[in-house]
Amino acid sequence: MPRVVDKVDQCFERDLVGIGDLVYCEIMRASAPPVSATRSPPSCYRCRNSTWVGFNIAEQSAANYRLLRSKGVTVRKTIDVLIGTFCAENGHRIVHSDSDFDLMAEHIGLDVL
């Protein structure tokens, strides 16, 4: 099975990768040393210059969280529900290395690569 990094590389080759503010936050949270707030996103990422979470996505994310819980699915991090909901609502395919997205996929219509 291909690694996530290999899948992302293939998507870059086809110009299919983009990240938004929430994913950028996840990347920067794990970066060492800490990145200053004034630094721009790495040039290798095709960043969407937009905010993913507005009230509509927040509301739908909460509804998705409740739906998932009613199905016995517990997503460990709220940010994952927000990212998954954004992608599902906007028809974006997600490449990931987090099992929470696989759990969400069939219930919220998330397209996982």
Amino acid (1-letter code) at residue 89: E
The reported pLDDT for the residue numbered 63 is 96
- pLDDT at position 113: 80
> pLDDT-based confidence at 38, cuts 50/70/90?
very low
pLDDT-derived band at 23, boundaries 50, 70, 90:
confident
For residues 98 and 63, give the distance between their C-alpha atoms in angstroms, rounded to a whole number.
21
- Domains (ranges, CATH) in the chain? 4-112 (3.40.50.1010)
Mean pLDDT of all residues belonging to the chain: 78
Calculate mean pLDDT across residues 58-84: 94
